[in-house]
């Protein structure tokens, strides 16, 4: 994934029952940082008070010791998010906090309500004001309009007309709540740390704080965490068909995270994608080179299956600063090169299999192929460990504009191959992808590849 | 005013009908900076889109050229605010923007609704969620709950149960609106620039952009500005008694601003306060020294009336940075000295009349008097150009906690004199203050001095 | 002084014999901040080690608590400096530190060696390398080339071929040294704090740390401070004629500093300049208005002598941030207005005497006069409390380029008057300036006014 | 390499003959960033003027567009450096610039003069003052003391008593010079870009600007670059025995750089180290896991030779911010985990071969092994692709303090194994390392492994 285009919407983490809970959130958000680097926020709660802080950029830059110390209490909810065009406004940072007739509440959301336009208009009609650009506020509006009953009933009311996708953490005055939509589109997992419980978008968030991954939040489930421990309620019956986002397995989630109930980390799944890719699109070549780091696991799999040796032909810089000064015309490919360096000894005079997880716009691929060619590669056979990324996402990954997707704008793969100037190009087939034995068998959303929308936008 | 305690809540500025409107807002907010230094924000509007940006600190540090350029359009609304304890959160920054059933809207508020607690509960009951700590949101809630009618009716509905104080700027999709409460507590003025109109908390905001001050927004009035020009509507009949904040004249507003319809700038009014102070509390002294810059005008007046020469015995530093490192114990009065320096030649062997506009906690006064004494002053006669600041404010100036006010905690002025270690202490009387010929005759709120609340908090 | 052009080169402070000496330097430099805002630096010394830190901007922004804590030891030397064109390089920051055959040493300089070009070439010939653009390094070079003898002899050697001006602080392994040139051009004073001693460019630096001003460093004197106390040596016989910089009295030094042995602070001297100005250039006017804050004292004097009332017609902003965004064409006078605001009630329909200490380029004066006129002033009579600033300085104030000085480029005062668009213009005469009774009688350099160079540049 | 301890001293880059030369330096330094992240600097030269700028942190954060534009001219010299304890002072930033009798000059150094103590004292005796802590200044001192002759003679004089190691770039008024010591300890290479030439510490610096690597600067050679092109002079006869730093091949240099004349990039050499390691220390294991990214190539080699599959068991975070907040006691291994995450599916129930290039203190290794064990690894066999790092470096890599090296403090490898809690531990033998066929045959310094000093420190 040439990661300047597709970015997952968010990462969520919540914990209840540890001293200095905000410190746990800080660390966990660091391990979820790949899910969003524009804004981050933490809301913490002492018995009586909510504290909150929001910053720009990555967690390690936005939070200071002083700020963390002010975020007191034994419960915390955190969020990272990425930039959507035209809305780089810190008021959109999450967790969104609100003081409502049903109590104080903070909410952190990963996903996108398929029917958000309609749902937004409806709560606007009821008098809700949207202070953020986020559909997340719809839930808060419902929360506030709900009759004063048990928290379970309030939550049920809040989500009754909301269509997936959503994986949401809610911090109320009395509990931490995790909710996942009945289709299970976006991930949400439960961890345990001593007597405390936590929820997170990915299991890697638990690793850094020493918590143990115990289960997914189930489809349509609401988990409630407070001093009494963990309570699990099936809020709505799970839909027959799960629609877990296959792209989490392909690219979004960390390789060492367990996603969607698979017993295997994503790296294992991705390696198998690579093996299948090798079966479907063999190549007569000398070396398998991953686009680091997104193509690493698939490339290993391709190599294992094809018996073509794996090697690091591209090195990724560790030193990316806040701003990169656009160089003059003569230096125009510096922008790609500042991130990726070619290893001449690995590629020179070689026939390369270049493995990546996907191609989005194609422009970066084109440049990358050029600099590998400049380093002396004889042939470059591009292999992509997922089908053509053609239709973008309507459920929470920011690629609404299909017209920017090369697989959408180009007639066929031959045209894409020409555009990026590869010697050959092979994509993993949709069937090949889905028969991966390490995937859970419960069903996936594959809209970005096949364009089929199974959730109504109304 | 030893200005680390009393701070006015906010400054508001709006303009409609100029290219690069956000640049005008930027400059105007700079000239309103004394009304709040914690957060600042600008919302601008092109024909179809609202843009917004919020920053910490002063306007010149928070905004960059790049940001201003992104705040496109011919209309803009801006706001500066100060810190209230425990709520230093950028989500509280204004103008608050909302997308509502009655359209998109941004609102910037100066003041405090006397009945905000009750009003807040009421709209919460209706389902409104408070995302900020500000009472301003109540208006937005009402705006959204209002029946869809003309903007005039929506505004009327929004304010129908709101008690003063408020001076508010509202930017909607079709107009810029300025509203002032029927008591006229906080200021709001109208300016003209070519064919465009602007509103601001003070006339000094017009000076920097070259606009002409044409009138106050009247009590209970709503002014509507759009491409058709300026329209003025009496939204609610003005209350018989105006309750303009006398403390704006005393301290808050810039000396060169015209406040509350007076034909004279505040410096003229303050000078007259000083004259009356000289009449009420003469002193046998050698030199009149202002606490710069807050006591400047009153000190000039005192000098003119008493014939005691005026001189600058205290110099104020121009170089106050972002953070001041607390010095070690031996250097403990450095904190006062970093801002104020004494001129020995002016005070040595002299009997000083030290003039300031008010005493709040008394701790800074005490230190200041000590450093003047250390410089050799023989006697220090403190003269305050307003009555004892005893009851704080319930209408928008942040001194709710009376217990921090020395005039409240000390039995009488003699005790205050002793605490600050002055040779004598004289406050301007309430009557003396109000008979100032340069004041408009329409009535003032003097609660901070006499404790009388004329607006119900229910 | 419209202070964007003439800026004094530097401020110096040193102290020996207090715990946390760097904290004292930090505070003292804050009070010397008007002498330079580009770079600042502190070198401290524990028994065996030198510590140093340099930063950009003002002291309060450049130093943090953490940094001050690392600057350990009981002795410290600090420096502030301003920008010279084309050399905004942090390597030029002072105190310059060096490890030499004659020991470790740090040096902080205020002044400019009249013969620096020649002197620089000479030590370059000996093999010295200039790592800064500063002439200060010449002394360090000499220090290192000096035979190993007593520190007195080394210092004597170091300065033997250096022509004024210089006021220098030197921190060696064994003492803190203060040196002033035999002409006494730039200031340097001695303070006492308990058993410790300090040196500084101005007495105001002592005020903030609670030290007592005890004397000037005499012309040609070297004062040595260490644990044994203060030792004073006449390093070179003082020249017959002192050449103290009269411009320190006029503008550079703080109003509350005692400069050049006068028993009166500069505010007293400046007030007398104002009185004499009133005698030489009376005006038929209604009010005397200072350009704040540089014209304050002179305006008071003018008022006192002329019996025309003094008033604040211009207000200076306290909120100047790091960067000011250049506004669009329509807002082009915003740059002056962001600093100075006019008080309409003070100036409208009035004949104004506008008092300032000097006019440099004239461009800001012109704009300032225009905004006062726009506010309704009937007549503006500009009075300058020093002679025409015509020749700049060759001894340490950055105005080498005469061609930028309006008094140099314009034929006569009539032309200047027309350029700035004043109704009349009067400068204090050189004779009038020098007969000021509060000045020490020992002689001044008046080169910037009369062009006479009494120190050879060879 | 757990890279928080051993860091190479510096990276150097120079170019002559391109417009906007400073932009090339900016990009090249980015690709040399692994050689130093504390300070960076660029000196550029237009026909008549030198420009310079120094900043803290990484190049992308320290330089802005504005700054680069001010660094005008067709020639530039740049430098990155790392922190040495106690000297984090920006005055130590390089290239050091000086104005000398032999002209203006800037110098950028990688290496450490073995005899720097003595050499430093000598030039101090001659009168040189050391303004930095760097031994580099010795060369500048010599440059300035040299008789005025041809640049070749001046350079010859400057280095005549300097003992290796040094690889130095010098920018004078008339040329860019690259010099390498007669032992060839540290690297320096020559590149060509159109008609222009460049020098750099590593070939990867050329890749990003599109330059072609043409040769090493030879041992004892001086290359001179100006508008006339490239001139190469043997400044001193090369010593019989080359002493190239073997640790550049092991860890310091980028995997895709060509070092010390090898025709193969370091990744190829490192892979061969891994193969030999597998031969010397086979393991009965299931998977070979690199410590990413330092162990990547060696791990690939180990896998290839041993036929044990390679896999990514550790993932390295891309999001390391400026400061990491030390977590509370309960979270104490978070510091390792914020950088490295384990992939449970890869390591659980597996016997792991964990490959890294070296062990320095051992503390990070110990923690890393623990978190892999916590993830369920059955056995962990540590394999290090170089001999025990026992004696540190006296020629320019910052590990002077042997007492911090676990291989030095522990009696034998068994003790190290116990300390880090590995199941087995194997180091590549010195002989095994040196017989690597991809290494140039000309001789290496292996002092850090065997403690043999071949260059006198006197």
Q: Looking at residue B3, what is its pLDDT?
A: 33
CATH hierarchy code of domain A10-240:
3.60.20.10
From B340, which residue of chain C is nearest by alpha-carbon distance? C208
Structure tokens at C399: 């105005």
Spell out the domain ranges in chain B: 10-240, 266-317+324-450
Once rounded to an integer, what is the mean pLDDT over residues D49-65? 92
Q: Looking at residue D397, what is its pLDDT?
A: 84
Q: Looking at residue B69, what is its pLDDT?
A: 93
Q: Looking at residue B87, what is its pLDDT?
A: 46
Helix (H), strand (E) at residue B372: helix B363-374
The single residue of C10, C40, C204, C448 carrying the catalytic annotation is C10
From B308, which residue of chain C is nearest by alpha-carbon distance? C304
Cβ of residue D131 closer than 8 Å to a chain C Cβ: yes
- Asked if D37 and D431 count as a contact pair (C-beta separation under 8 A), the reply is no
Residues β-bridged to residue C198: C15, C191
From C35, which residue of chain B is nearest by alpha-carbon distance? B319
Cβ of residue B331 closer than 8 Å to a chain C Cβ: yes
Stronger pLDDT, C324 or D194, i.e. the higher one: D194
Nearest by CB to residue A144, choosing from B53, B128, B145, is B128
Once rounded to an integer, what is the mean pLDDT over residues A156-169? 94
Q: Chain D: nearest CA to C87, how far in angstroms? A: 9
Cβ of residue B244 closer than 8 Å to a chain A Cβ: no
Q: Looking at residue D85, what is its pLDDT?
A: 43
At residue A3, does pLDDT exceed 80?
A: no
* CB < 8 Å from A in window 375-414 of B: none
Q: Looking at residue D359, what is its pLDDT?
A: 95
Structure tokens at B287: 């030199």
What does the pLDDT look like over B419-435, one tens digit per residue? 999 999 999 999 999 99
* CB < 8 Å from C in window 195-224 of B: 204, 207-210
Ranges of residues in chain C with a pLDDT under 50 are 1-8, 85-87
What does the pLDDT look like over B187-198, one tens digit per residue? 999 999 999 999
Distance of alpha carbon C208 from alpha carbon C253, whole angstroms: 16
In this complex, whether C and A touch, counting 3 or more CB pairs under 8 angstroms, is no
Once rounded to an integer, what is the mean pLDDT over residues D47-72? 92
- Quick one: pLDDT band at residue D134, thresholds 50, 70, 90? confident
At residue B7, does pLDDT exceed 80?
A: no
Q: Chain C: nearest CA to B264, how far in angstroms? A: 6
From C133, which residue of chain D is nearest by alpha-carbon distance? D99
At residue A38, does pLDDT exceed 50?
A: yes
What does the pLDDT look like over B364-403, one tens digit per residue? 999 999 999 999 999 999 999 999 999 999 998 876 678 8
At residue B127, does pLDDT exceed 90?
A: yes
At residue D258, does pLDDT exceed 70?
A: yes
Are C30 and B267 within 8 A, CB to CB? no
At residue B351, does pLDDT exceed 60?
A: yes
From D138, which residue of chain C is nearest by alpha-carbon distance? C129
Q: Looking at residue D86, what is its pLDDT?
A: 41
Once rounded to an integer, what is the mean pLDDT over residues A356-375? 95
Task: Give the distance, in angstroms, between the CA of residue C202 and the centroid of all CA atoms in the same chain.
Answer: 9
What does the pLDDT look like over A51-90, one tens digit per residue? 999 998 899 999 998 899 999 999 999 999 986 544 468 8
At residue D77, does pLDDT exceed 50?
A: yes
What does the pLDDT look like over B149-169, one tens digit per residue? 999 999 999 999 999 999 999
Catalytic residues of A: 10
- Quick one: pLDDT band at residue A2, thresholds 50, 70, 90? very low
Q: Looking at residue B86, what is its pLDDT?
A: 41
At residue A356, does pLDDT exceed 80?
A: yes
Q: Looking at residue B6, what is its pLDDT?
A: 41
Residue contacts between A and D (CB atoms, under 8 Å): 200
Once rounded to an integer, what is the mean pLDDT over residues D18-39? 95
Nearest by CB to residue D30, choosing from A326, A338, A346, is A338
From A144, which residue of chain B is nearest by alpha-carbon distance? B127
Q: Chain C: nearest CA to D90, how far in angstroms? A: 8
- Asked if D398 and D6 count as a contact pair (C-beta separation under 8 A), the reply is yes
Q: Looking at residue D239, what is its pLDDT?
A: 78
CB contacts of A131 in chain B (<8 Å) are 96-98, 131
Share of chain C above pLDDT 70, in %: 97
Spell out the CATH class of A266-317+324-450: alpha beta
CB contacts of C355 in chain B (<8 Å) are none
At residue B85, does pLDDT exceed 50?
A: no
> B413-420 and B363-374 are packed helices; what angle lies between their axes, rounded to 10 degrees?
50
Share of chain D above pLDDT 70, in %: 97
Distance of alpha carbon C268 from alpha carbon B19, whole angstroms: 49
Q: What is the ipTM of this complex?
A: 0.94
Distance of alpha carbon D362 from alpha carbon D403, whole angstroms: 12
Stronger pLDDT, D330 or B201, i.e. the higher one: B201
CB contacts of B343 in chain C (<8 Å) are 255-256, 265, 267
Secondary structure percentages of chain C, helix, strand, coil, to 5:
30, 25, 45
Q: Looking at residue B40, what is its pLDDT?
A: 95
Distance of alpha carbon B415 from alpha carbon B409, whole angstroms: 10
Task: Give the distance, in angstroms, between the CA of residue B99 and the centroid of all CA atoms in the same chain.
Answer: 29
Structure tokens at B68: 């201003």
Expressed in angstroms, the distance from the first to the final Cα of chain B is: 32
Which subunits sit against B, judged by 3+ Cβ pairs under 8 A? A, C
At residue A181, does pLDDT exceed 70?
A: yes
Nearest by CB to residue A128, choosing from B91, B96, B144, is B144
Question: C244-245 and C444-445: which strand pairing?
Answer: parallel
At residue D2, does pLDDT exceed 50?
A: no
Q: Looking at residue A333, what is its pLDDT?
A: 79
At residue D6, does pLDDT exceed 80?
A: no
Once rounded to an integer, what is the mean pLDDT over residues D308-321? 91
- Cite the beta strand spans of C227-303 per DSSP E: 229-234, 244-245, 287-290
Are D130 and C98 within 8 A, CB to CB? yes
At residue A5, does pLDDT exceed 70?
A: no
Are A131 and B54 within 8 A, CB to CB? no
Beta-sheet strand order (sheet of C379-384): C287-290, C351-356, C379-384, C424-427
Share of chain A above pLDDT 70, in %: 97
What does the pLDDT look like over B200-244, one tens digit per residue? 999 999 999 999 999 999 999 999 999 999 999 999 887 789 999
Beta-sheet strand order (sheet of B189-193): B50-56, B39-45, B75-81, B10-16, B196-200, B189-193, B212-216
Lowest mean pLDDT: which of B1-5, B441-445, C291-295, C346-350?
Answer: B1-5
Secondary structure of residue B265 in the 3-state scheme: strand
From the CB of residue C3, how many other CB atoms can be counted at a distance below 10 Å?
A: 15
Once rounded to an integer, what is the mean pLDDT over residues A293-302? 96
In sequence order, the 6+-apart residues with CB closer than 8 A to the CB of C17 are C74, C75, C194, C195, C196, C197, C225, C227
Expressed in angstroms, the distance from the first to the final Cα of chain D is: 32
Q: Looking at residue D83, what is its pLDDT?
A: 61
In this complex, whether D and B touch, counting 3 or more CB pairs under 8 angstroms, is no
Distance of alpha carbon B179 from alpha carbon B235, whole angstroms: 9
Q: Looking at residue A83, what is its pLDDT?
A: 61
- Asked if C309 and C303 count as a contact pair (C-beta separation under 8 A), the reply is yes
From the CB of residue D20, how many other CB atoms can be counted at a distance below 10 Å?
A: 20
- Quick one: pLDDT band at residue D237, thresholds 50, 70, 90? confident
Q: Looking at residue B399, what is its pLDDT?
A: 64
What does the pLDDT look like over D405-426, one tens digit per residue? 999 999 899 999 999 999 999 9
Distance of alpha carbon D360 from alpha carbon D366, whole angstroms: 11
Are D300 and A323 within 8 A, CB to CB? no
Residue contacts between A and B (CB atoms, under 8 Å): 80
From the CB of residue D169, how many other CB atoms can be counted at a distance below 10 Å?
A: 31
Nearest by CB to residue C144, choosing from D52, D96, D128, is D128
* CB < 8 Å from D in window 297-326 of A: 297, 300, 304, 309-312, 315-326
Structure tokens at A243: 């629609």
At residue D267, does pLDDT exceed 50?
A: yes
* CB < 8 Å from A in window 262-291 of D: 264-265, 267-268, 271
Which subunits sit against D, judged by 3+ Cβ pairs under 8 A? A, C
In this complex, whether B and A touch, counting 3 or more CB pairs under 8 angstroms, is yes
Q: Is D40 a catalytic residue?
A: no
Secondary structure of residue C433 in the 3-state scheme: helix
Share of chain B above pLDDT 90, in %: 82
Q: Looking at residue C86, what is its pLDDT?
A: 41
Distance of alpha carbon A157 from alpha carbon A137, whole angstroms: 14
| Residue found under tokens 């050391």 | D130
CB contacts of C310 in chain B (<8 Å) are 300, 310
N residues, chain D:
458
């Amino acid at each position: 994934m040439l990661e300047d285009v597709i970015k997952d919407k968010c990462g969520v983490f919540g914990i209840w029952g540890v001293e200095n809970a905000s410190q746990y959130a800080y660390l966990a958000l660091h391990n979820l940082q790949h899910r969003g680097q524009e804004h981050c926020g933490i809301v913490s709660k002492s018995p009586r008070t909510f504290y909150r802080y929001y910053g720009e950029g990555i967690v390690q830059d936005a939070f200071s010791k002083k700020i963390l110390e002010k975020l007191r209490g034994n419960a915390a909810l955190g969020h990272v998010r990425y930039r959507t065009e035209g809305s780089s406004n810190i008021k959109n940072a999450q967790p969104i906090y609100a003081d409502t007739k049903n109590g104080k509440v903070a909410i952190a959301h990963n996903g996108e309500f398929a029917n958000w336009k309609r749902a937004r208009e409806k709560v606007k009609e009821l008098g809700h004001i949207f202070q953020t650009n986020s559909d997340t506020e719809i839930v808060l509006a419902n929360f506030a309009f709900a009759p004063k009953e048990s928290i379970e009933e309030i939550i049920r009311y809040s989500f009754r007309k909301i269509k997936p996708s959503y994986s949401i953490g809610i911090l109320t005055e009395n509990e931490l709540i995790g909710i996942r939509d009945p289709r299970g589109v976006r991930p949400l997992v439960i961890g345990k740390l001593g007597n405390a419980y936590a929820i997170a978008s990915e299991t890697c968030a638990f690793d850094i704080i020493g918590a143990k991954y115990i289960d997914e939040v189930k489809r349509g489930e609401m988990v409630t965490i407070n001093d009494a421990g963990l309570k699990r309620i099936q809020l709505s019956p799970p839909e027959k068909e799960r629609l877990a986002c296959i792209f989490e397995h392909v690219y979004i989630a960390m390789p060492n995270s367990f996603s969607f109930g698979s017993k295997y980390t994503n790296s294992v799944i991705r390696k198998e994608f690579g093996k299948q890719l090798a079966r479907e699109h063999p190549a007569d070549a000398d070396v398998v080179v991953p686009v680091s780091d997104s193509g690493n696991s698939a490339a290993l799999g391709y190599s294992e299956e094809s018996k073509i040796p794996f090697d690091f032909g591209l090195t990724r810089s560790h030193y990316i600063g806040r701003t990169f000064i656009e160089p003059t015309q003569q230096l125009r490919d510096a922008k790609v090169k500042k991130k990726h360096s070619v290893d001449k000894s690995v590629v020179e005079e070689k026939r390369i299999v270049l493995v990546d997880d996907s191609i989005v716009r194609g422009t970066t691929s084109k440049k990358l192929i050029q600099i590998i060619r400049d380093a002396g590669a004889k042939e470059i056979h591009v292999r992509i460990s997922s089908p053509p990324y053609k239709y973008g996402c309507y459920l929470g990954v920011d690629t609404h504009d299909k017209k920017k997707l090369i697989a959408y704008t180009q007639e066929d793969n031959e045209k894409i191959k020409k555009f990026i100037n590869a010697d050959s190009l092979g994509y993993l087939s949709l069937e090949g992808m889905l028969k991966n034995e390490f995937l859970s068998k419960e069903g996936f959303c594959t809209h970005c590849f096949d364009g089929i929308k199974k959730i109504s936008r109304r």
